Structure 1
């Protein structure tokens, strides 16, 4: 058995990787076991989450041992570790973040950090919130269920029209252990909208389109161009319209389109009220 105590202290990144390579080679030997005591997030993030043992002091002063573990079936550690890696959650995040905010996909993953910082005055990381995209993936719900089961705080933020998505049906959310009144937010539903993009005003959309995807000279975008597309799949309709009518450039997709709008906002009041309310709730959960 080989025991290391803070082996990468004071080393630069290149030599930290060298130490990790040495440890991996030792672990690969059939007759060798290795224990590493470390506070290094780089080192913690460099191994399988199932191999991480987290030691912490309880309020009573006793040492508690935490690890990614569940006895529901064989291989659960590997399974959940793979899911966590797929949605971009590092080992250190799984161990230390106070709240996990799950969103639908790349649009939210790109835009929510900007919107949260503008609304709340600090970045997600500083608030102790880890953001991850479900990508309409049932595996993400398994991870959410695992986190809830082990008393971690989780909030799921999805578009109102996701109620029809087979992965986000009410019975599946309940099965995952999520409290539908406190841990699930359907974006737009309270205002009769279907999706995140609809929360932004037609004036905001027109301003973004004029700045990023201008129409032929003398034909600026107006709020009315966007108002006429309300009521259906708003994001798809306006994306198609912009691509058809823009003079030269056009957004690469829905994520690029909304990010262009969001990047133009400068005050908290420009962030839709429903999002500000959700961000306040998530920040309170993280505290």
Structure 2
């Protein structure tokens, strides 16, 4: 016997980085649905993100009731079912979702999310813009050398912006196309086990303005945008140039990163609603 389980899922885009979001608070119907699924959240994430059977998104995010001073907890999954401690573009989408779908009063100054990387604070600014206070950025290693089959010995900066990023400066961002196989190798390099790292390339466009793209864990490809990648690239660029305000153009859109306040950077960018879907999942009862 099969049961039809309609579930409301919202698809959003943060600079072209797409996410499926679910209201998973105690008073929602998610928990009744979850009991019937017969699937783990990781398995369900892969289904929801699937380009054929799902919503074709880069990630899956469940918004849960907050506790201990947090407004909300979140449970985040990449499209392959793996987890990530933090995602800056998802944080912006989550903030607009909470304001407009969960009844958060518009006059509230900020939202406090509990993530795998700790506290993330977000402010909805209007005109689709959201500012997120990211986790502290830091160098794990200012220079790390990795031997790759496709490109030989490569030098990166290893940065943590909530998740690890290998950052490499290149002459033109178009060169990243030819570096894709190298990025794939570096992403899961033996020297970075067990977690590996995202790989972010950047090129200076003009003073205070860089172009960047990230090869993301869990997606296993370049994505249109990566919030933590934008911050990682801006952090390395800022350290070399002393620029405190950095504009980061990613393939999917423009992000602004501000280091004026210290090690916890502010990232600002768009977060837009793509659509609300009644997702019908047939499971064996």
Scaled by the length of structure 1, what TM-score is found? 0.27
> Which has the larger share of strand?
2
> Which has the larger share of helix?
1
Bigger Cα Rg: 1
Scaled by the length of structure 2, what TM-score is found? 0.27
